[in-house]
Structure 1
């Protein structure tokens, strides 16, 4: 049996560079309306990144909606937690946040008859200290029925979310 995650209501407010501060319900509704009123092909990517600082660990959780070949939009939530000194704890917390939020989004879209693929992006790669977590995190994604990508293809986590943890 795979590890699953029930997302708490941590992510109730999101920021959008173009729309400002939004409730999660507004973010989900915005995604639904964008996809439902267009004939373009879209995909959703959920990812997270974290940064360890002296006062705690800073996480950025991202939802990225991409219109294939035509750009996209993203929404992010920032949270500060206790200081995770273990790289493994931090990486797994990022992954659990991403899986939880992606699961909520998938449920919402299913309830509104929107069929759009959702992928996860993990900020791990074959080079460096995170390589030992690849199998576990890809198994986590698979057990929750999400395709997942790692570096260098996980831009939602390793590039976009990274900007908001600084």
Structure 2
């Protein structure tokens, strides 16, 4: 069972248009206001009983002026090892980055993919580090892992249900 909900803002407001159209709209508005922007995309997950919940976020940083984010929650009953779950998180972030990268490029906005994977080999999530880094950088995206991966380890972590 896989359940997909639509993108929303942090305040719960649902995005009723395709996310690419929303990104185009928000970039025009934010840049017209004079903000210098950076975008970070990340996914986190949480296992509860037989259900794994994922939250993917698109975080906009207004340099020197805070930020805001968009959220997509997904639920699956597929059983996964921790490595599979970390790589699924990475794949979800890369898919969103790939869908939106031309829009960010058009507006000259830097984008990073954040992986909720620990760089310390003493942590279980580190098993997926090399694969995740290779996947993200192989797709041509800037890569950040813990502790610098705030989009996944802080923002997405707060909104995974």
What's the TM-score, normalizing by structure 2?
A: 0.87
- Structure 1: which 5+ runs fail to align? 1-9
Aligned length: 155
- Structure 2: which 5+ runs fail to align? none
**TM-align CA RMSD:** 2.0
Secondary structure at the aligned position of 2:152 is classed as helix
Q: What is the alpha-carbon distance in structure 2 between the residues aligned to residue 11 and residue 104 of structure 1? A: 17
1:18 shift after superposition:
4.2
List structure 1 runs of 4+ shifted beyond 4 angstroms: none
Q: What is the alpha-carbon distance in structure 2 between the residues aligned to residue 19 and residue 52 of structure 1? A: 23
Q: What is the alpha-carbon distance in structure 2 between the residues aligned to residue 50 and residue 97 of structure 1? A: 11
Aligned to 1:32: 27
Aligned to 1:76: 71
Q: For structure 1, which segment, 45-54 or 75-84, has the greater mean C-alpha deviation from structure 2 after superposition?
A: 75-84
> Is 2:30 the partner of 1:42?
no
Q: What is the alpha-carbon distance in structure 1 between the residues aligned to residue 71 and residue 33 of structure 2? A: 23
Out of 132, 152, 159, which is 1:157 matched to? 152
Aligned to 1:119: 112
Cα distance change, pair 106–25 in 1 and its aligned pair in 2 (3 A) = closer
Out of 86, 90, 104, which is 1:91 matched to? 86
Q: What is the alpha-carbon distance in structure 2 between the residues aligned to residue 42 and residue 36 of structure 1? A: 8
What's the TM-score, normalizing by structure 1?
A: 0.84
Cα distance change, pair 19–33 in 1 and its aligned pair in 2 (3 A) = farther
